[in-house]
Amino acid sequence: MTLNELKLNETKCIANINCNPEIQKRFIVLGFIKGSKITPVLTSPSGNIRAYFIKDTLIAIRDCDAINIILL
């Protein structure tokens, strides 16, 4: 399952990030590491951006980037 497929208010753990090294590094700096719990809590009106709660922080991510984050 990928992050963009996760339903609102459902929590899963990150298993892997499959993207280019530059974007992967940015995700890791934000706390997107293996085993981190993540929960989608808001969706934009257009539906292509969602806000995720991870490590006591709310972060907005586009679906085109969220598709690269694999969950357990």
Phi, psi for 69 (deg, rounded to 5): -105, 115
Provide the CATH number for the domain around residue 24: 2.30.30.90
Give the tokens for residue 7.
Answer: 């339903």
- Given a contact cutoff of 8 angstroms between Cβ atoms, the answer to whether 29 and 22 are in contact is no
Domain that holds residue 24: 3-71
Question: How many domains does the structure of the chain reveal?
Answer: 1
Mean of pLDDT values over 31-37: 93
Helix (H, G, I), strand (E, B) or coil at 46: coil
Strand pairing class (57-62; 49-54) = antiparallel
| Band (21; pLDDT cuts 50, 70, 90) | very high
Q: At residue 47, does pLDDT exceed 90?
A: no
Taking CA 12 as the corner, what is the angle to CA 42 and CA 62, rounded to the nearest 5 degrees?
40
Q: At residue 17, does pLDDT exceed 90?
A: yes
